[in-house]
Amino acid sequence: MDAQDADLKKELDATLQTRRELGEEYESALVDSFLEKVDQRIDAAVERRVRRQFAEQQMVAARGSRSPRPTDSWGERFGFGIVSLVLAIPLSAIGAGTAHLPGLLVSWAGIVGVNVVQAARSHPGLFGHRRQASKDDAWED
């Protein structure tokens, strides 16, 4: 477990302890606060990855060679699945707590939708259609 994971675990423990002390009336605010911290962490990781890929593409372009096709590793897919399941818990609680069954169904529809989009992005031929090649794809082969 790295330092960021330990910090996030401490934040979760502190949020849960605060919820026990303050009661259910503050649950929504506490969950929102914790999810905002998780979102910030995810945003920072995505930003680092985008910057790294952009820098790699610039280096490849500067050298005049072709860019390797981006790979979707098993670890990235596994991590996305874990994050989806972790975020599903508070989203389900919020949805069910505020709108009962319809809220729960809407929250899970969103979770499933995000995962379907991720799967389609990772595997373009997965749902029976192939992406049309464009001029921009020529350098990615």
Please report whether residue 139 resides in a domain. no
Residue 107 burial (C-beta neighbours within 10 Å; 0-12, 13-18, 19+): buried
Q: Helix or strand or coil: residue 1?
A: coil
Does the pLDDT at position 67 exceed 50?
no
Does the pLDDT at position 57 exceed 80?
yes
Please write the tens of the pLDDT for every residue from 83-124.
888 888 888 888 888 899 999 999 999 989 888 888 888 777
pLDDT in the model for residue 71: 57
Tokens for 54, please give them.
Answer: 């952009």
Query: Domain containing 21: what range?
Result: 1-70
Tokens for 5, please give them.
Answer: 């994971």
Rounded Cα distance between 112 and 88, Å, is 10
Do 104 and 65 fall within a single domain?
Answer: no
Do 16 and 77 fall within a single domain?
Answer: no
